[in-house]
Structure 1
């Protein structure tokens, strides 16, 4: 019971700290196994088991490998650790996956079977918006209900007094961002385009996008490249931002941008999750 309480307490603390981790839960055992169904363990991103227990070395290697993969792609998986003879009866090899189950060999003398559910718990994805245009405001308000942690960076005189964002920064100097999947959108629309785009290039992110025409982005690329900006980083900025939905209003444009971000965020997860 104490170990279980420690697990629950640590989960709460890691979630509050926006730290990625894996919750491993034993969901089924057959024959003799060290851990029983219901046993849990918290695995941090560095591979350490920070709380709880799910058995010894019989399952540890397979569980830690699955935990690393789950943190990388955000997809839960089921690991079944079985003795070699049972794997042979099923016609599977150690490391093989079938119908959503990853099989691993139990090397322990007990020769029991243990199924462990590997659940990644990731921080909220981060959306960083530079600018205070109508599209930027619509983007912030639409993103939060979708589970994004929204950071809005713009000069105070350009933005509303109470923008709908988790964090508001005066100007374009963005720092102290949480460790999470990150998406950056520049939506200045004529008010500080160059300064905001320069700041955006310094933010590590999965995607960078610019709300504006291809012609404007081409001109900005040329200007910034001439001033020493990385041409490859500039080339990776998507412009115009968003999927081509035929959007016209700021709210529709914001929707098209979020649709593109969700597409990038979820790419591979539906296939990986079955």
Structure 2
């Protein structure tokens, strides 16, 4: 089972009372899809334990379960007691131990902090996958994430942890792209002042309030970190804390919205008709409209920007910039 890299629960019979059909030491595994392999009791026990096992996978916690037709009046601490619906099957006590694959940590960016996170993550039992538009062969972050999804298709990653460390290059775009994934944690490497700007940009882009509130910004515990390695350590410490203490906090992911092929062709055609070189209306920098990831459509005109900060400022109040153009 470990070779297949799938999470499962190991179930072991630790005590039994006749006429239970199980014996001490019997084992079974329960997969994430509710399939039991092995024997730890009859049909009634089986159904009860499958439900408990799936709960263990959800929480990551071990569990001692007592199944009996006559539950004790006094229940010992740490024991989950379930009523046996088939009285003839006796009493059985089982130990449930979830076996998880290391969780996925998606890191966006080509910054020193992004590289430090990738290097350090395996030491804390995370599987790091770093992506960056600067290095990707695809034209957008969404395309890059789709490639990542395909690469991870053989693994049972139902949730992930995410950190955006682009250092202001495409913070908002990265957060929105990662919001397609179910997330246990979504952090942004930024300053409190810049987070206000990114937050405003997300609001303008129509991001749900639940997503914006879920983002941890600035990412990392306040340990007075200096340099990329220490900042990465502070972020990993915060992720470990979330993983161990706040198991119910999770972003379920935005629904996938995929444009049709005709829409994609139309969008590409539109971009082909505009000038390649345009002036960022916010900062005055010349940018290549075909290559920049930061665009804004207004009244049929496509404006290009050097970074997400300029685009967000423009989106918030276009007229203030166009009136001085």
Which bin holds the TM-score, normalised by the shorter protein? 0.7 to 0.9
Alignment-derived partner of residue 284 in structure 2: none
Alignment-derived partner of residue 41 in structure 2: 55
- CA pair 221-268 structure 1, distance change in 2 beyond 3 A: closer
- CA pair 30-203 structure 1, distance change in 2 beyond 3 A: closer
Q: Counterparts of 2:218 and 2:205 in 1: how far apart (Å)? A: 22
2:13 counterpart SS class: strand
Further displaced range: 108-117 or 136-145: 108-117
- CA pair 234-73 structure 1, distance change in 2 beyond 3 A: same
1:24 matched to 2:11: yes
1:168-189 CA distance string (max 9 Å, x none): 9997331315524311100011
Q: Counterparts of 1:169 and 1:256 in 2: how far apart (Å)? A: 31
1:63-119 CA distance string (max 9 Å, x none): 1232122111111111122342xx44xx23xxxx53212223344454633211111
Match of 1:147 among 114, 117, 125: 125
Deviation at 1:144, TM superposition (A): 0.8
Alignment-derived partner of residue 209 in structure 1: 187
Match of 1:254 among 214, 228, 232: 232
- CA pair 268-240 structure 1, distance change in 2 beyond 3 A: closer
Contact 2:42 2:89 in 1 (8 A): no
Q: How many residues align?
A: 238
Alignment-derived partner of residue 114 in structure 2: 136
- CA pair 239-61 structure 1, distance change in 2 beyond 3 A: same
Alignment of 1:109-128 (within 5 A): 109-110=87-88, 112-128=90-106
Q: Counterparts of 2:207 and 2:221 in 1: how far apart (Å)? A: 27
| TM-score, scaled to structure 2 | 0.66
Alignment-derived partner of residue 79 in structure 1: 65
Contact 2:17 2:90 in 1 (8 A): yes
Alignment-derived partner of residue 188 in structure 1: 166
Give the greater-gyration-radius structure (CA): 2
- CA pair 170-20 structure 1, distance change in 2 beyond 3 A: farther
| TM-score, scaled to structure 1 | 0.77
- CA pair 169-67 structure 1, distance change in 2 beyond 3 A: farther
Alignment-derived partner of residue 22 in structure 2: 35
Contact 1:41 1:54 in 2 (8 A): yes
